Amino acid sequence: MNNEELDAHGVGCGWVVKGPYTTCTNCRKYCRTFSSVLKTLYSMSRTYYYHLPYMLLQARMCNKRECKILCLNGEPQYVVKCAVLGSSISVEPHNEAFTFAAHAVDLLRSRLSFALTSGVVRVDLFKNRAGYFVVNEFESLDADYPSTKGGCDDESKVSFWLGTYYTNILNELVECVC
């Protein structure tokens, strides 16, 4: 998509090029044009060669009020964070965002059956200018899940669930081998 197509959908204000595992670091660049994206990819590939396995290209959202919903086996559990308080997303109890996140994971599963969605999946989402939710990204294996509300109960629940989840997977693998 070019900038005009993104703008027509109310989604983006250019592009973001970034490396994986690089939240809040210098391995991120905002680009207004696609030619700038290509130059940035070339420059970053030379700088981070052998350090990063891939680069991400995302539409840059005009509305930066991101909300991160943690799902366990596709079921929304809690809000990890809402970037800007006072946005329509941050109004509790987040029912609309939870419903959208569950639908987004279901859609991901139906379209990409090999995607890792049985464990922890964090759905990062925005609202576009028209007020519709848009998925920014899905995070799975390295998804951060601490609640910004300081909810130790939420984090403990996820840690316990993950322990059980991975123990069951390992037990199944051992049974297959034996």
Residue 100, domain CATH:
3.30.470.20
142/165 same-domain check: yes
- Helix (H) and strand (E) counts in the chain: 4, 7
Place 10 in a pLDDT band, splitting at 50, 70 and 90.
Answer: very low
Q: Choose between 14 and 149: higher pLDDT.
A: 14
166/141 same-domain check: yes
* pLDDT score at 49: 76
Of 25, 46, 62, the position where a domain reaches its end is 62
* pLDDT score at 148: 60
128/68 same-domain check: yes
* pLDDT score at 140: 77
138/168 same-domain check: yes
Place 21 in a pLDDT band, splitting at 50, 70 and 90.
Answer: low
Of 62, 92, 113, the position where a domain reaches its end is 62
81/57 same-domain check: no
User: pTM of the prediction?
Assistant: 0.67
Separation of alpha carbons 129 and 132, rounded Å: 7
* pLDDT score at 58: 77
* pLDDT score at 99: 93
For residue 19, pLDDT over 80 is answered with: no
CA distances from 54 to 18, 20, 88, 139 (A): 9, 7, 34, 15
146/78 same-domain check: yes
Place 85 in a pLDDT band, splitting at 50, 70 and 90.
Answer: very low
> How many structural domains comprise the chain?
2
CA distances from 5 to 13, 63, 102 (A): 11, 17, 27
151/135 same-domain check: yes
58/18 same-domain check: yes
The tens digit of pLDDT for each residue in 95-143 reads 888 999 999 999 998 998 877 777 788 898 888 777 788 888 888 766 6
44/92 same-domain check: no
Of 10, 42, 62, the position where a domain reaches its end is 62
129/69 same-domain check: yes
100/43 same-domain check: no
Instruction: Determine the structural domain holding residue 149 and report its residue range.
Output: 63-178
51/69 same-domain check: no
The tens digit of pLDDT for each residue in 28-74 reads 888 888 888 889 888 888 887 777 777 777 777 766 677 888 888 88
The share of the chain scoring above pLDDT 90, in percent, equals 6
